[in-house]
Amino acid sequence: GAQPIPPPLTDTSAKLVNDRAHPWRPLLPGQQRGPCPGLNTLASHGYLPRSGVATPAQLINAVQEGFNMGWGVAVLVTYAAFLMDGNQLTNLMSIGIKSLLTGPPPPAPAIVGGLSTHGTFEGDASMTRGDAFFGDNHSFNETLFQQIVDISNKVGGGKYNLSAAADARFLRIQQSIATNPTFVFSNPRFATAYVEAIFPLAFFVDGRSTEQALDLKVMRGFFQDSRMPRDFFRRNGTFDFGTAGEGVQFLMNAHPFFPGFNDGAVDNFVPDPDFLGNDTEILCALYHKFVNITVELYPNPRGALRTALNKNLDNFFVPVQAEGNCLQSHPFP
């Protein structure tokens, strides 16, 4: 059955995390990496199983221990992803493409496709991965990384800083509008895309530095090789919802942009004024959207599957309830 949520860290200070117990190792045949450089790196350093297949508890523990992601943020993103992309019966999820290692899946329309499944958590206009429309939404893309390098040289003094993040985020949106007729950038992708542009600054800058800027070689190491620099310290103190919100606000102020989608053709971006649905808070809208996607995958779950889904949905709501003024959904009473 579903697992209980692991606790927050007691010590959230900066410390060496590229340590003797967590050496980087190259990929072996059968091991999966995917669209998330954070989880890829945790797997390649053994904070997650090196196979790239993990339980929700392993994910929550690893992102806290390895990168000091705050408990609430960790629980929220883990269960959002796990409900849509994981195997509710075995508690296993691939951080890459669909994997046999996650065990016998529940019946269709459930996908259990791992984090690379387009239209669940994974979405368009990623900074270093292409849009699913072009065929590969999970591999490191050198051309896209070079754009980040160029932008960082132009506005970041040779490093990825908040100004570079703002420009990189905006450029990728413009590119998807101009080239991807199926481009979707509404709830939930609008929110996750902006937060993910902050993540390199939040998590990949050494915890002993007070600089809000990331060396591009270090950045490439994480994004391309899933590798921490030698002697890497995790951030000092947790990264929580408040800090995430401030970063996102900076990016949006730099380039105001409204959620929407290309309506069947390139250069045909239409705003989606209903992107919040019946909610007023973005967090609640995100929560309800992820629950709705889950319900589409599980129209009529029975038995152990229903029990597991309900437990994981309850776990998903814990950080949402703590942070926002949101109503819980009970899709499987």
Compose the 79-108 pattern: x for residues touching ligand HEM by CB under 6 A, - for all others.
--x---------------------------
Among 115, 191, 216, 283, binds ligand HEM (CB under 6 A): 115
Compose the 163-182 pattern: x for residues touching ligand HEM by CB under 6 A, - for all others.
--------------------
Using CB atoms within 10 Å of the CB of residue 46, give its burial: 0 to 12 exposed, 13 to 18 middle, 19+ buried: middle
Fill in the amino acid letter for 76.
L
Among 41, 68, 126, 128, binds Mg ion (CB under 5 A): 126
* Cis preceding linkage at 188, omega within 30: yes
By the 8 A CB rule, do 52 and 34 touch? yes
Task: Please choose which of ligand HEM, Mg ion, none residue 191 contacts, taking the beta carbon within 5 to 8 angstroms, the exact cut-off set by kind.
Answer: none
* Cis preceding linkage at 109, omega within 30: yes
Among 2, 17, 43, 77, binds ligand HEM (CB under 6 A): 77
By the 8 A CB rule, do 195 and 244 touch? yes
Task: Please choose which of Mg ion, ligand HEM, none residue 200 contacts, taking the beta carbon within 5 to 8 angstroms, the exact cut-off set by kind.
Answer: ligand HEM
The residues in 83-122 that bind Mg ion, with binding defined as CB under 5 A, are 122
Whichever of 190 and 275 has its CB closer to ligand HEM, that residue is: 190
Per-residue DSSP letters for 179-232? H-TT-EESTTHHHHHHHHHHHHHHHSS-TT---SEEEHHHHHHHHHH--PPTTP
Q: How far is the CB of 161 from ligand HEM (least distance, A)?
A: 15
Q: How far is the CB of 146 from Mg ion (least distance, A)?
A: 18
Does the footprint of ligand HEM cover residue 199 (CB under 6 A)? yes
Give the C-alpha distances (Å, rounded to integers) separating 302 from 47, 70, 79, 81, 88: 34, 34, 20, 21, 12
Round to whole Å and give the CA distance between 152 and 159: 5
Task: Please choose which of ligand HEM, Mg ion, none residue 121 contacts, taking the beta carbon within 5 to 8 angstroms, the exact cut-off set by kind.
Answer: ligand HEM
Using CB atoms within 10 Å of the CB of residue 28, give its burial: 0 to 12 exposed, 13 to 18 middle, 19+ buried: exposed
Fill in the amino acid letter for 144.
L
Q: How far is the CB of 191 from ligand HEM (least distance, A)?
A: 11
Does the footprint of ligand HEM cover residue 122 (CB under 6 A)? yes
**Would you call 261 helix, strand, or coil by DSSP?**
strand
Residue 258 corresponds to which tokens in the numbers above? 């409204």
How many residues touch ligand HEM under the rule CB under 6 A: the total is: 25
Does the footprint of ligand HEM cover residue 78 (CB under 6 A)? yes
Q: How far is the CB of 228 from ligand HEM (least distance, A)?
A: 10
Region near ligand HEM per CB under 6 A, out of 32-40, 96-104, 210-218, 305-313: 32-40
Residue 104 corresponds to which tokens in the numbers above? 């016998």
Does the footprint of ligand HEM cover residue 39 (CB under 6 A)? yes
Q: Which residues bind ligand HEM (CB under 6 A)?
A: 35-39, 59, 63, 67, 69, 77-78, 81, 115, 121-123, 126-129, 192, 196, 199-200, 203
Residues that bind Mg ion (CB under 5 A): 122, 126, 129, 137
